[in-house]
Amino acid sequence: MTVTSVNPAHPSEVIGTFEEATARDVDAAVRRAAAAQREWARVPVPARAERIAAVGAELERRKGELASLVAREAGKVLIEAGGDVQEAIDMAAFVAGQGRAAWGTVHPSELGDKLAFTTRQPVGVVGMITPWNFPIAIPSWKCFPALLAGNGMVLKPSEHAPACAAAFVEACIAGGIPGDLIQVVHGFAEPAQALTVHPGVRAVSFTGSVTTGRRVAAAAMETGPRLVSLELGGKNAMVVLEDADLELAVDGALFGAFGTAGQRCTSTSRLIAHPAVVDELVERITARAAALRLGDPTDPTTDVGPVITRESGERIASISGAPLRDIDGGTYVEPTVVRVDRDDRRACEELFGPVLSVLVAADVHDAVELVNSAEYGLSAAVYTRDINRALRAVAEIDTGIVYVNAPTIGAEIHLPFGGTKHTGNGYREAGTRGLEQFSETKTVYIDYSGRLQRAQIDNRSPVSGS
User: Is pLDDT at 88 greater than 80 in this prediction?
Assistant: yes
Residue 460 pLDDT > 80, yes or no? no
Residue 450: other Cβ atoms inside 10 A: 7
Confirm whether pTM is higher than 0.85. Answer: yes
Any catalytic annotation for residue 265? yes
| Residue-wise pLDDT tens digits, 304-355 | 999 999 999 999 999 999 999 999 999 999 999 999 999 999 999 999 999 9
Contact 298, 273 (CB under 8 A): no
pLDDT for the residue 224: 85
Would you say residue 301 has pLDDT above 50? yes
- Mean pLDDT (the chain, rounded): 96
Split at pLDDT 50, 70, 90, the class of 466 is very low
Question: What are the beta bridge partners of residue 128?
Answer: 155, 205
* pLDDT tens profile 133-178: 999 999 999 999 999 999 999 999 999 999 999 999 999 999 999 9
- Contact (CB, 8 A) for 400 and 313: no
Q: How far apart are CA 277 and CA 273, in angstroms?
A: 7
pLDDT band at 363 (very low <50, low <70, confident <90, very high): very high
Give tens-digit pLDDT for 185-210: 999 999 999 999 999 999 999 999 99
Residue type, 317: A
State residue 398's pLDDT score: 98
Q: Which of 20, 58, 87, 231 is catalytic?
A: 231
Distance CA 411, CA 379 (A): 10
| pLDDT tens readout for residues 207-221 | 999 999 999 999 999
**pLDDT band (50, 70, 90) for residue 464:** low
**Which residues, at least 6 apart from 195, have a Cβ–Cβ distance to it below 8 Å?**
26, 30, 127, 129, 154, 156, 185, 201, 204
- Omega of the bond leading into 178 within 30 degrees of 0 (cis): no
Is 90 exceeded by the pLDDT of residue 459?
Answer: no
* Catalytic member of 58, 265, 334, 350: 265
| Residue 458: band (very low, low, confident or very high) from pLDDT cuts 50, 70, 90 | low
Domains and CATH numbers, the chain: 2-232+424-444 (3.40.605.10), 236-404 (3.40.309.10)
